[in-house]
Amino acid sequence: MKEIQLTKEPHGHMLNSTQVFSKDSNWLVFDTRNQDNEISSTASIAMVNTKTGEIKMLYQTKNQTEFGPGVGAATFSPVDDKVIFIHGLNNSNAANPYSITRRTGIAINTNDPNKAIFMDARCIEKPFTAGALRGGTHAHTWSKDGNWLSFTYDDYVIEQFSRTFSGVQNLRTIGIMIPRSVIVKTLDDEENFSGTMFSIIIAKITENPKLETDEINKAFDECWIGNGYLKQNGQWQQKAIAFQGNVKNEDGNVKTEIFVVDLPKNLIDITGDQMLPGYENKRLNVPKGITQRRITFTKYGIKGPRHWLRSNPEGTQIAFLSQDEFNFINVFCVSPNSGKIKQISNHKFNIQGGINFSPDGKYITYIAGNAVFVTDVETSKSTQLTKNDLNANDLFGCVNWSPDGKIIAFNRYVLDEITNQYFVQIFLITNDDHSIMSFD
């Protein structure tokens, strides 16, 4: 195998946590952040060719300042030449800057740069519009067929209401977008706009979860479960989401567990009053027919660095990080059916970032011990792919696989000799003969 530094320009080249490769594995999409918390001041989304290093600019914001609008966290559609990314509101300024409730999802066709496609509609004024959201989306992830999107959500209307009424809190939750246009009639400013997708909240949250129950006060960091999965009753579930939810144990302490939502086939037909309560003091409704079920009941809960759940292609395993019996952060997997947990990696040092499955589901890759590792899901054999970086912060984030299984991509800080500054660069690992990677 060989390691290649793909980018070298003196600015950031930050990869998202998943779906950063084009469907043909020839391009990687990135934003130009140099730190994870710099979305508000980041102006560009671009892509780089994995073979030639050619860079194509896809989108640049207008009137960019430190307060916004800002862009970041781009993902490629698995079936189309299209990317989606976070975009702050265009009227962002010092008084109303970019924030978790003031952002949306913008898509770009890679053959038509800078032409923004508003995906989720936004309406923060009464009467609220069915299918439109009232806040900010992020962590947009495409379903395997490229038709739907999942996202995490923070409600602006509830955020404003909670400043006056302490009994109502702005709590993060998750939702999905399905292909149906939403027209917002209140278009008098940059705060309200139409979208090409119909948004639905799918996780139920509450301010005060009862102790030792499955009630949660936060839903976040989700994943699509495979291309669907086979349920215990023998029926095929076409689309489902696994997500992290915060419960309270018997001592009142917060613990993060895994939940599953099976999405009904007729979800696209749900409209109208069922979607929105129409009140500024209530969260968006979860439609009837959507229920969440808890599948893990662990001692420690999910532990370690922030990460998104990941599913293998067959939908039989959901991967997550937690603490093992020796107090190290390792990879575990759980079935969406049985809830039975298996430890996958067995490092005597901590995993330092997010995780991803290989396209065939055989391996999981991540950063641990300041190096890139890959672990066989069946045998738990771990293989170190890079040298241990001397600086623990040089490597960071998630390690991504190309759809053809021939490339692994990751981020590393590299010192630029001209400016004497460190910049986020993209690195690749490939076989010398450009064959599908195997670690048997």
Cα angle: 55, vertex 60, 65; to 5 degrees: 130
Q: How far apart (Å, rounded) are the C-alpha atoms in residues 183 and 197?
A: 10
Burial class, 417, CB count within 10 angstroms (exposed 0-12 / middle 13-18 / buried 19+): exposed
Q: Tell me, what's the pLDDT at 267?
A: 77
Q: Tell me, what's the pLDDT at 108?
A: 98
Q: Tell me, what's the pLDDT at 343?
A: 98
pLDDT over 90 (residue 354):
yes
Q: Per residue in 203-229, pLDDT tens?
A: 999 999 999 999 999 999 999 999 999
In 156-197, at which residue ranges do the beta strands (DSSP E only) sit? 173-178
Q: Tell me, what's the pLDDT at 265?
A: 83
Q: Per residue in 360-374, pLDDT tens?
A: 999 999 999 999 999
Are the CB atoms for 396 and 353 separated by under 8 Å?
yes
Bond prior to 313 in cis (omega within 30° of 0): no
Q: Per residue in 252-285, pLDDT tens?
A: 899 999 999 999 987 767 655 455 666 788 888 8
Rg value, the chain, Cα: 21
Burial class, 168, CB count within 10 angstroms (exposed 0-12 / middle 13-18 / buried 19+): middle
The percent of residues above 70 in pLDDT, for the chain, comes to 97
Are the CB atoms for 151 and 19 separated by under 8 Å?
no
- Residue range 407-432: mean pLDDT, rounded: 95
Are the CB atoms for 193 and 118 separated by under 8 Å?
yes
Cβ neighbours of residue 269 closer than 8 Å, sequence gap 6 or more: none
Are the CB atoms for 86 and 44 separated by under 8 Å?
no
Q: Which residue has the tokens 């215990």?
A: 232
Q: Tell me, what's the pLDDT at 273?
A: 47
Q: How far apart (Å, rounded) are the C-alpha atoms in residues 77 and 147?
A: 9
Which pair of tokens denotes residue 406?
């021939």
Instruction: Output phi, psi for 117, to 5 deg.
Output: -115, 110
At residue 271, what is the residue type?
Answer: T
Bond prior to 113 in cis (omega within 30° of 0): no
Cβ neighbours of residue 265 closer than 8 Å, sequence gap 6 or more: 238
